[in-house]
Amino acid sequence: MKVSRGVYFLADDGVVELAIAFLNSFRKHNPSIALCLIPFSDNIARLKELQGAYGFSIFSNTKVYDWYDSINLKFHNKPLGHYRKLAIWEGEFDEFIYIDVDTVVLENIDFVFKMLSDYDFVASHSNMAHIVKWTWKESIYGAGLLANEQIDYAANTGFIASKKGAIALAEIRIKIAAIPGLKPHTLPLSYEQPFLNYLIVTSGGRYTSLFVLWKKGLYPGIALEQWAGTKGRKVRNGKIVLECHPVFLVHWAGKWTPTPFDNTLFSILKALGIKRPDDKPAIRFFMPYKRLWQYYRFMRRDVI
């Protein structure tokens, strides 16, 4: 029986500029793999116009959206679409990769699917002491909710490779009961990441990350994600040039949203009539690796 494979991304028209850069980069290096949009909200009219250009489907089981949105409200006091990411385990692909939209893809991603014969969950980075703080507060270690090794996994969930049903809907329904105990130990600005980590490490499945596999010397030639907050990398022809390992993904997590200073600067430039077309208010003025992002955002003039 043939295994269906594909990629999910989460977006709405509020991040359409990011989505275009992501789609351009993804299709340049992965022209034929199936791609599916999970709507962050109902506001996707502009994204729908891009379906033909980039060949992606839209997640069809809309009945589950309200349920995932209700999980969001158990952690946050306002509606957010981040928890719709959980729909990836109920989607159309037997094996899949989820990628956050605030990224550009620099290589073919087929190498990741090979790891799903050995693991049920493969994140980008995990088991790095300095990034635990982006998933859990220090208090989680004494809470008795997870073993230390489960806490230390603390994976970045902007990239996940997994299999359909690896986390079942029924399992999520049961584990919702743990949210009141987990919530005091989570970071609101990490949105779904703590709960998703909790689901992964308590699933009974085999979990790892590209970083762990690279560090152990497994899967020769493995490529890694690069966080845009890491400075000093050379960029050439739409690629990150790094000798120690290939970079297949650049992620602007926390580094693309305009600051108050950016918004003020954009307003001044607009008032002076010197606002450039590529300096869009949705993107931070001094966004790190901005030229790399622009390389992919403006690759296709027919979708501007």
In a domain, 127, yes or no: yes
pLDDT tens for 110-138 read 999 999 999 999 999 999 999 999 999 99
User: Which of 189, 197, 86, 192 has its CA nearest to residue 140?
Assistant: 197
Question: What is each CA distance from 119 to 114, 206, 220, in whole angstroms?
Answer: 9, 5, 16
**Cα(263)–Cα(185) distance, integer angstroms:** 32
In a domain, 16, yes or no: yes
In a domain, 95, yes or no: yes
In a domain, 269, yes or no: no
DSSP strand pairing (247-251 vs 103-105): antiparallel
In a domain, 237, yes or no: no
Q: Binning pLDDT at 50, 70 and 90, where does residue 272 land? A: confident
**What average pLDDT does the structure give for the chain?**
92
The number of domains in the chain is 1
Give the global pTM: 0.94
In a domain, 67, yes or no: yes
pLDDT tens for 207-262 read 999 999 999 998 888 999 999 999 888 898 899 988 678 899 999 998 888 888 88
CATH number at residue 199: 3.90.550.10
Mean of the pLDDT values across residues 160-186? Answer: 95
Q: Binning pLDDT at 50, 70 and 90, where does residue 102 land? A: very high
In a domain, 102, yes or no: yes
Note the pLDDT of residue 8. 98
Say whether pLDDT at 277 is over 60. Answer: no
In a domain, 224, yes or no: no
Whole domain around residue 144: which residue ranges?
5-218
